[in-house]
Chain A
Amino acid sequence: MSYKTIVRKSSALMGYVIQTACITHCVIEYVGDFVLCTGPSMEPTLETNNILFTEHITPRLQRLRRGDIVTAKCPTDPKQNICKRITGLPGDKVKGYLPRGSQVVPRGHVWLEGDNSDNSKDSRMYGPVPQGLIRGRVVCRVWPLHRISSLTDY
């Protein structure tokens, strides 16, 4: 192989790699992705090492409902993700921990709670979560195989 062919072939390969990476980025960012969940906060609905499919279209269009399970960036650590259920939308009255007690969810925020309320760090601890932090809505569980199920209410 001559020098020229090597350059041509490697640049074509580079092009394919870049293209694939960009398409993957767009799909993950705008359509949906798979997430591995860890931790006890959503038991018994979700358990550690379940793999979930989340879609990113509903949160972008602000069509979230009460009862949806969502993934979001953790308000106290943006590098961490959390997976909780929406229990309150703007204007709803919710019950938090002391000192504030019951409060109304402000505009542009949601109230997130884990299903395992005794063992979950959620809105009752850090207050309402801005909707801008929500990344995806959980659609279904894909792993383990014998527990494949839809996780939406409708």
Chain B
Amino acid sequence: MSFRSLFKSLLFGVPIGVTFLDSVGYVARVEGISMQPVLNPESKNTDYVFLSRWAVSDYQINRGDIISLVSPKDPNQKIIKRVVALEGDVVSTLGYKSKYVRVPEGHCWVEGDHTGHTLDSNSFGPVSLGLISAKALCIVWPPERWQSLETKLPESRKPISIAI
């Protein structure tokens, strides 16, 4: 009898949990050094961030947001980067095939904060907004690193011209 009720609560509980994770958000571990110094400032410890799915449900993102997206090179991999430019902006690239790029319609330009140690739009070009999966809001673990993540862009990486 108790086995049956356990099975029943699993059957109804799992979809509710999955829907919550899909529409509200979830916590994920950040790997790698590409977002230093904001995330993983020392390479030995890893940060856990809260990723909000709610915030990107209508694909509204701002320059400077930290977002998680499906890697254009490998659909099984998720990457975390900062949005540098939105559609229509002109951005000066760092080592991309052309020096200046106008971000096409429905795309954005993402970069890691750790210039030179990151695989980002400078290697794979502008990414489609449809690949964005969530927006990082705050660091939740370890406790001494509790903080919310700010929307900011270094002065040197601001787009050259901003679409109106």
Contact = CB atoms under 8 A, between A and B. Distances in A.
A22 B128 contact: no
Interface stretch (A47-55, A91-99, A130-138): A130-138
Contact of B72 (A22, A62, A74, A130): A130
B9 to A, nearest CB: 11
Contacts, number: 75
A22 B13 CA distance: 9
A77 B106 contact: yes
Which 6 pairs across A and B sit closest by C-beta, in order of nearness? A132-B70, A73-B130, A78-B130, A76-B106, A131-B75, A22-B19
21 contacts: A19-B15, A22-B15, A22-B18, A25-B23, A26-B14, A29-B18, A29-B22, A75-B106, A75-B107, A76-B104, A76-B128, A77-B106, A78-B106, A78-B128, A79-B58, A108-B72, A130-B70, A130-B128, A132-B75, A132-B130, A133-B130
A19 B12 CA distance: 7
B16 interface: yes
Nearest to A135: B130
A140 B69 CA distance: 31
A130 B105 contact: no
A106 B132 CA distance: 20
